[in-house]
Amino acid sequence: MVELKNEILKLLKEDARRGPDLIATMLNVEQADVIRAIDEMEKDHVIVKYAAVVNWSKVSEEKVTALIEVQITPERGRGFEGIAERIYLYPQVKSVYLMSGDYDLLVEVEGSTLRDVASFVSNKLSPIDSVLSTKTFFILKKYKQDGIIFEEHEDDHRLPISP
């Protein structure tokens, strides 16, 4: 079952719109088993969501994204959890990672303008008590995200018929 689930996850990561019938054929298993495995993974929050990967730079609505390195003082008893939660609950925060190295949290913030992001950092993030320092890096271009290459659209260079 664990192996089947892994195989299903790989196929869904490639294309989340693949249905259980197609997946069952590709993996040579019963459709009912695929449905059951997917149900379980949805319930267990292994599959968290089926969402489109969007290249926003191709959409007229431009977005500004920044990665912010945040140094914090951990709280007694709760470590980084409480402070991470206070940060990730903001809707403009797209991801938060606890990091090893020079800083503690890596926070990805999205806004519609540079000023939006700047004001989030100065008005929301920095004033939090345990936040010691922040360093903001604006993203200029996304080449690849989550294993998916954005810009390059690879055409099939093969001859249409070959022996």
Q: Which residues of this chain interact with another protein, rule CB under 8 A?
A: 11, 15, 18, 22, 25-28, 154, 156, 158-163
Q: Which is nearer to another protein, 7 or 116 (CB)?
A: 7
CB of 25 to another protein, least distance (A): 5
Instruction: Tokens for 94, please give them.
Output: 């797209």
Instruction: Tokens for 39, please give them.
Output: 């149900």
Q: Which residues pair with 140 in a beta bridge?
A: none
Closest C-alpha among 68, 85, 62, 79 to residue 122 = 68
Q: Which is nearer to another protein, 139 or 148 (CB)?
A: 148
Which residue is associated with the tokens 């019963």? 30
Q: Which is nearer to another protein, 89 or 159 (CB)?
A: 159
Q: Which is nearer to another protein, 102 or 154 (CB)?
A: 154
Q: Which is nearer to another protein, 35 or 118 (CB)?
A: 35
Q: Check: CB of residue 24 under 8 Å from CB of residue 11.
A: no
CB of 33 to another protein, least distance (A): 15
Q: How many Å apart are CA 32 and CA 157, to the nearest integer?
A: 39
Which residue is associated with the tokens 């969501």? 49
CB of 93 to another protein, least distance (A): 33
Q: Check: CB of residue 116 under 8 Å from CB of residue 64.
A: yes
CB of 153 to another protein, least distance (A): 13
Report H helices in 15-150. 20-27, 31-43, 81-88, 114-120
